[in-house]
Structure 1
Amino acid sequence: MPSPMRDSIPTLAPPFTMTELHAPPSPRTHRLRKLQSAHNLGAAARSQNQPSLISQQRIRDLQEVNISPTRRHVSNRSPPQRHRANSDTPSPINVATSSTMSLNRQRNALSRTSAAADSMSLERLIRDGPPDGDVKGALESTRLKVLDSGIKSDGDGMSSVRIYAWLILLDAPVLETDAYLALIHRGASPAYSKIRNDTFRTLTTDPLFRRRVSEASLIRLLNAIAWKLHDAKEERRPTSSRHSLSNERPSSSSTVSSSPAARNRARALTLTTEGSDANASESGTYVQGMNVLVAPFLYAARSEAEAFVAFHRLLTKECPGYIRGAMDGVHRGLALVDKVLAIVDPKLHLHLMSKSLSAEIYAFPSVLTLCACTPPLPEVLRLWDFLFAYGPHLNILCIVAQLIIMRNDLLSSDSPNKLLRSFPALQAEQIKKSALAIIKMIPDDVYAEIVTHAY
């Protein structure tokens, strides 16, 4: 997954200064070009047979873990130390940038960027594509722009370019709308009944989401994803098993009726039953919580097809372990939340453990949904900008950052489980800065576990 090089990730501006976000230009006056402009950064990289931005960063990150035990270029400051005299006083993570570190120095600390791309706005870079054909440099510039100033959006989190930035950073392929419609027209997937049991309660307390995204959209997209993942499983199944299944199904359906419409209805009913019972434990089709994970994609996208291809890419390329088998990737992530918290704030970790509050108890939704379960939705979108630019695996550090923000209340509470039932409202900028500081404080082997935990 996309991953910041530990020795080269730049530090942000002084903490708690929110980035000013301005409303994007009206789509009527500044429309993105069609398919070519929507994807030409990612598509250009694929046409040159280069690894995606995400893959490049993941490979480099693991290489950096092996060759460099320090974070020379993160900041001139050493990791914050707690003074003995103040051992009982909460000591927030210091994420201030050295006043002598200029933006140019931060840029030089990163991999090579494109000077031409650096001079362009993010909106223009997405619209026009990489200048001079420098795909790698343009992608690095894109990541840095997302980190420096974020993606411009209005108060509701709406942006005309966000979904295209996500598609590029996820290296999602262009998908024809007809291909998405074909999946919809196949009817109920094996997971259909499970999907219907979840969609009606997706972000029910968020008026922005309910106003923009219908339950029907959620059902269609999740059902299409379930079909896509089901097909991939069938392709991996041994040929002999596929033949035996195909020989069994016609006999059951042919006894119902010879009418094509009746056969389709019977098939849909059979698949629905299979999705809720017999196949409930099968991996890779649908797990509870995917309805929340897909919600920001549908909110940010301009079409269901765009949300579909981005969501499918995230599931299959970035966190397949989250939906495979017993969701082993999620459980590894939860164990890492505990491990990182023990390193960053031993006192808070011991306090929670003394109350039998491991991350398995309170952080499961936050790990599985990349914090999309915590409102407000516009802040979720801003946090996702960072995660898609530098790696969804950094969500583990973002969860720890939220615990650090709650530190005073958790330590002073005899029942911290009540506080952890629902995390405080997301503050994307503060969480991001704390997460970047935490990167400097964890050992290389733990960081390597974080990078690979979702596979």
Structure 2
Amino acid sequence: MSSRPTHSQLSLAAFAAPQSPRTMRTLRKIQSHQVLSTSSSAFSSQAVHASVPRKASGSEGLAPPIDFNTTHRTRPRRGRSNSDAGAQDSGGSQPAKRPARKTGSGFGVRKSALESLLRDGLQNGNVVEGLKELRYLVLSTGVEADGDGMSGYRIYLWLVLLEVPPLPTDEYLSLIHRGRSPAYAKIRNDTFRTLATDPLFKRRVTEASLIRLLNATAWKIHDAKAQTKSLGPSPRRRARQSLVDTPPSIAEETLYTAGEDMSEAAMYVQGMNVLCAPFLYAARSEVEAFALFHYFVTRECPGYIRGAMDGVHKGLRLVDRCLEIVEPKLAAYLFSKGMHAELYAFPSVLTLCACTPPLPEVLHLWDFLFAYGPHLNILCIVAQLIRMRDTILDSPSPNKILRSFPPLDAKDIIALTVLIVRKIPDDLYAELIDHAK
């Protein structure tokens, strides 16, 4: 028998002490692991089995590789979307325009259960049960969207799932009116090439909005760094040293507060432009996109934006370790060729796979990640590698294949990730949850 604590034991231990914000977030992610790894769940027994057939040898076998060359769903194209600054139509031939599909909003259109829950709110006022139902609906039915990935309620779903509080518009405007931040030159060096080959993104989001959002985020982080420094040298170290004789419940809260220390955070690192792109694309306003993006990089993955980007490097090592557990033959072959995740998966870890088109599939993948934890992006990358398994094993030079991943298919990747979760040991899963902190 293993001495490793079970997920249920971890959950009971978390409930034993007063809950701090960080404890509650970690607990929700552990509970998400329980949901995803429960074979009796409706999604696992129906949708997963239908999308990713398992080996005939038994329930513990990993699903066989999915052929990523299979035909993807045909998506209707729509006319030019509105952007914040009215982007001009580019010259040359334009793709044929097709009407967008209605997705649950407006008169005479039946709303989905997910949209109804978001619009009508909770019937019994039980927030915990409401969030569970919301996550289950994301996993089982998905967010309805048109061919361009646009949904009238997705951005509100993200705000609820990430628990982002409302942001006054004036606060965002005050950051804009401060002008160029110290990171402005670095931002301008990247924004013009953000998803440069994606016509959907370029049609809806202007470079000006990217610059404003990233510059405002840089100012916000700049202010947080200045406030941290005003408290004295090494506040994080002092906080940790003060925990020696501190009761556990208070210590947890102190660590959470110390985690808000932004003294080591970079105002901008290369790749943040791509990470913020889906937020701007899906949002109905820049203020919503800013609130989500700033919260995400400073609370969900602050390790990704520290100067050394240590959270990203931890994530890359976890890709190798998880692949070695789930698909040892594929991992051994890649390692024998000197191909570790550091060489091919850096953009996918940093941007939560937003660097891999098509953008509508990125949005569907993010619905899943925000519902059950962004740390699952590591396993989504492993799932993509498994889908490429046969091609990689047949190639004498896998580095050529891994220079660019095949187009995302969110439904298949999510289904395979749900299966992979069951194979990840509890201690390793705990590292997945904390690697970006």
TM-score, normalised by the number of residues in structure 1: 0.69
Given that 2:348 and 2:354 are in contact with CA atoms closer than 8 Å, whether structure 1 keeps it comes out as yes
Shift of the 51–166 alpha-carbon distance from structure 1 to 2, 3 Å rule, reads farther
Letter paired with 2:289: A
- Are 1:221 and 2:213 an aligned pair? yes
Deviation at 1:133, TM superposition (A): 1.9
Deviation at 1:325, TM superposition (A): 2.7
Match of 2:390 in 1: 408
Deviation at 1:63, TM superposition (A): 7.8
Shift of the 285–177 alpha-carbon distance from structure 1 to 2, 3 Å rule, reads same
Distance 2:196 2:266 in 1: 26
SS of residue matched to 1:180: helix
Shift of the 128–197 alpha-carbon distance from structure 1 to 2, 3 Å rule, reads same
Q: Which has the larger radius of gyration?
A: 1
- Are 1:365 and 2:347 an aligned pair? yes
Deviation at 1:138, TM superposition (A): 1.2
Deviations 1:199-242 (A, max 9, x none): 0000001000000000000000000000001101111003579x
Q: Which aligned pairs between 1:38-437 and structure 2 lie closer than 5 A?
A: 56=24, 58-62=26-30, 71=38, 73=40, 91-92=64-65, 121-238=113-230, 283-437=265-419
Deviation at 1:127, TM superposition (A): 1.8
Deviations 1:117-146 (A, max 9, x none): xx9822222122222322221111111111
Distance 1:130 1:408 in 2: 47
Given that 1:82 and 1:91 are in contact with CA atoms closer than 8 Å, whether structure 2 keeps it comes out as no
Distance 1:299 1:137 in 2: 30
Distance 1:51 1:315 in 2: 20
Shift of the 447–152 alpha-carbon distance from structure 1 to 2, 3 Å rule, reads same
Deviation at 1:161, TM superposition (A): 0.2
Match of 1:16 in 2: none
* Range with bigger deviation, 340-349 or 373-382: 340-349
Deviations 1:66-93 (A, max 9, x none): x99x85646689x97797xxxxxx9438
Distance 1:435 1:229 in 2: 33
Given that 2:65 and 2:388 are in contact with CA atoms closer than 8 Å, whether structure 1 keeps it comes out as no
Distance 1:401 1:195 in 2: 32
Deviation at 1:283, TM superposition (A): 2.6
Deviation at 1:400, TM superposition (A): 0.2
Distance 1:71 1:385 in 2: 20
Deviation at 1:60, TM superposition (A): 4.9
Distance 1:134 1:159 in 2: 26
Q: Which runs of 5+ in 2 are unaligned?
A: 1-5, 9-17, 58-62, 67-110, 234-262
Deviations 1:137-190 (A, max 9, x none): 111111111111111100000000000000110100101111100000000111
Shift of the 50–135 alpha-carbon distance from structure 1 to 2, 3 Å rule, reads farther
SS of residue matched to 1:360: helix
Distance 1:155 1:315 in 2: 28
Distance 1:57 1:141 in 2: 17
SS of residue matched to 1:186: coil
Shift of the 63–144 alpha-carbon distance from structure 1 to 2, 3 Å rule, reads closer
Letter paired with 1:429: K
Given that 2:29 and 2:373 are in contact with CA atoms closer than 8 Å, whether structure 1 keeps it comes out as no
Given that 2:268 and 2:305 are in contact with CA atoms closer than 8 Å, whether structure 1 keeps it comes out as yes
Shift of the 401–64 alpha-carbon distance from structure 1 to 2, 3 Å rule, reads closer
Distance 1:316 1:152 in 2: 29
SS of residue matched to 1:372: coil
Match of 2:259 in 1: none
Distance 2:114 2:392 in 1: 40
Distance 1:435 1:55 in 2: 25
Distance 1:50 1:123 in 2: 30
Distance 1:347 1:287 in 2: 35
Given that 1:6 and 1:71 are in contact with CA atoms closer than 8 Å, whether structure 2 keeps it comes out as no
Deviation at 1:451, TM superposition (A): 1.0
TM-score, normalised by the number of residues in structure 2: 0.72
Given that 2:7 and 2:30 are in contact with CA atoms closer than 8 Å, whether structure 1 keeps it comes out as no
Deviation at 1:354, TM superposition (A): 1.2
Deviation at 1:57, TM superposition (A): 5.6
Letter paired with 2:218: A
Distance 2:367 2:32 in 1: 23
* Range with bigger deviation, 282-291 or 179-188: 282-291
Given that 2:194 and 2:273 are in contact with CA atoms closer than 8 Å, whether structure 1 keeps it comes out as yes
Given that 1:191 and 1:285 are in contact with CA atoms closer than 8 Å, whether structure 2 keeps it comes out as yes
SS of residue matched to 1:287: coil
